[in-house]
Amino acid sequence: MTSRAKPVTRPRKDRLEAGERRNLLMTVGFGVAIGFALLMLLAAVGKTWYDDHMATMLSVNGQSVSRDFYRQANAVERFRLDQEEAQVRALVAAGRLSATDGDQQITEIGTRRENVDDATNTKIIDGLVQTDLAKEQGVPATPAQIDEAWAAEATQPEARNAFLISVSPGVAEGATTSTQAEIDAARKKAEEIKAQLDAGKSWDEVAKTNGTGESIDGSIGWITADSTAADTNTIKAMFTLPSDGYTDVIETTDGRFDIGRVKEIEPAKVDPDFSKKVSDAGVDQGVYRTLLGYEVVAKNLTDKVVSAAVDQPSVQRLVSEIRLNAAQGTGDEVRARHVLISPGGDPSKASEVAETDPAWTKAKDDAQRIYEEIKAGKVTFEDAAKQSSNDSGSASDGGLLPWLTQDSVVKEFGDAIFTPGLKEGDVLAPVKTQFGWHIIEYVGRRPPPDQLIETIRVEAMAPGADFGELAKKYSDAEDASTGGDLGWVAKLQLPAEKETAIFAAPAGGISEVLSAQDGFYIFKIDQESTRLPDAAQASLIRGGGFDRWYTPLRAEATIEQLATPLQVLGTPQPQP
């Protein structure tokens, strides 16, 4: 039998090449897919990183602040608080600060630390707004000023062990300011005290009867140049003294007369390791210097604005005012006096006393007796209130209450004072409320303040009207008794809304009605003159003039808060 081999079928070459190509394409495609996925992952990671670090947290007039800048700024402010606390503890340890004062300062630092996140946010916003304003005013922060501020951060400032004798002018009962005679008398007394010291009398002996410090010798403790333990004029004078020196009589910004003493001087000390401490704490020195620049700008602006208002003559106006307090409810208002007799003598606990308790019966009997004595003319209502009322808030003022709406007081009291037909001076029989028994004297009734002020303005604008008498009749302001006399008013002396109303009014005329948070105002412009602020005006301008200048300008800035401090920093960790 003959056998034949079967033919072998070989794959064609073109089929092999097609398979290889297919495998290659699959491999390449798989690689591309992996690469694309990696790119997508990297893009996602990159976006997450960018959003967490470089994304805008807030914008001020088009200037963006990144999340990382805010974090670094926050770290700077926390570092500074840590340094401040360490210095306080060092002063206590060295005996230059009492443990009580040290604890108080550390508590205050702790409070600032709790609020540092929002405070940092505000500081950055104000820094950017004020940097633009400083450029406009020609007082930007210079590199030399920032260098000086950095050096100050590394320096424990000079401290002085200080003592103080202060003489304040008297104020007559019922007056709000001292007369020139009272001011002159205070100055004379201070000069007599200084003369005793110059004649060789010891400070301790003089201070026993005239000292104003916390101790019998007038000590105000160790102070630095920026201390608030005494008036700025007095502090400035103290820092010109040698050890164990006395100042001359210093007139303070609020009208007192001070004599200061410096017993010891602790020179300023520079910390040579400060920069290393900053670096070791992980704090960015560039951001630190930026924040110092913001502080320099704020000082430059303050100095320029306040100096222009205080040291240069400006247009001022002699002004009188009428103010009606904002209503506490709706509808007409009634004013009354009352004598409150509470069970047990305590209005705050009267509602807890059972109706059957004899204390209620005694309170009622006492109220009835006082009512009958007032009606019989045996005692005036005001004296009865001063002698017997359990309402400590009104008793010293003869029981006089502010203007009240019917819905602003408890029902029984409101129904009583709004009884139809009451006339000024009517005394009502005792009325019971949850606070006790009230004897009430009706004083008067008036329309709601927003309506009444318009009526008063019409009266004030009538020919021959006496604005001062209208103020005495209607005004709720403290100066009503003096005819609403505000004295001379300079720019930046009063809140912006009042200043605007006053300087928008015609000279010699009456302002438009000003609706403010605390009530309704009209102003009379008695005179206008170009003059320097007096001492009292200058004190008000130095104390709040910059804020009054800056606040409306800040309100005009375009501020966009895209993320809150909590969103950027995460949940705050509890402090140790």
Separation CA 465–CA 101 (nearest Å): 57
Q: Any idea which of 42-51, 166-175, 322-331, 435-444 has the lowest mean pLDDT?
A: 42-51
pLDDT digits (tens, 9 = 90+) for 504-520: 999 999 999 999 999 99
pLDDT digits (tens, 9 = 90+) for 237-258: 999 999 999 999 999 988 999 9
pLDDT computed for residue 573 by the predictor: 47
pLDDT digits (tens, 9 = 90+) for 337-361: 999 999 999 999 999 999 999 999 9
Instruction: Tell me the pairing of strands 269-270 and 333-341.
Output: unpaired
CA nearest neighbour of 559 among 182, 96, 56 = 56
In the numeric block, which tokens belong to residue 202?
């010891």
What CATH topology corresponds to 159-267? Chitinase A; domain 3 (3.10.50)
pLDDT digits (tens, 9 = 90+) for 270-299: 999 999 999 999 999 999 999 999 999 999
CATH class of 314-326+449-531: alpha beta
Report the percent of the chain where pLDDT is more than 70. Answer: 90
Separation CA 531–CA 526 (nearest Å): 15
What CATH topology corresponds to 333-446? Chitinase A; domain 3 (3.10.50)
Separation CA 260–CA 277 (nearest Å): 37
Full DSSP string of 480-534? GGGTSEEEEE-TTSS-HHHHHHHHHSPTTSBPPPEEETTEEEEEEEEEEEEE---
CA nearest neighbour of 294 among 152, 134, 79, 54 = 134
Same fold, 159-267 and 314-326+449-531: yes
Can you tell me the mean pLDDT for 84-89? 92
Full DSSP string of 213-280? SSSTT-EEEEE-TT--SS-HHHHHHHTTPPTTEE---EE-TTS-EEEEEEEEEE--EE-TTHHHHHHH
Separation CA 71–CA 53 (nearest Å): 9
Separation CA 193–CA 187 (nearest Å): 10
Count CA atoms closer than 13 A to 352's CA, side-chain side: 6
pLDDT digits (tens, 9 = 90+) for 366-392: 999 999 999 999 999 999 999 999 999
Separation CA 454–CA 466 (nearest Å): 16
Can you tell me the mean pLDDT for 433-453? 97
User: Residue 189 pLDDT more than 70?
Assistant: yes
Domain boundary assignment for the chain: 55-88+116-152+277-309+532-576, 159-267, 314-326+449-531, 333-446
User: Residue 423 pLDDT more than 60?
Assistant: yes
Q: How many CB atoms lie within 10 A of CB 183?
A: 19
The fourth-level CATH superfamily of domain 55-88+116-152+277-309+532-576 is Porin chaperone SurA, peptide-binding domain (1.10.4030.10)
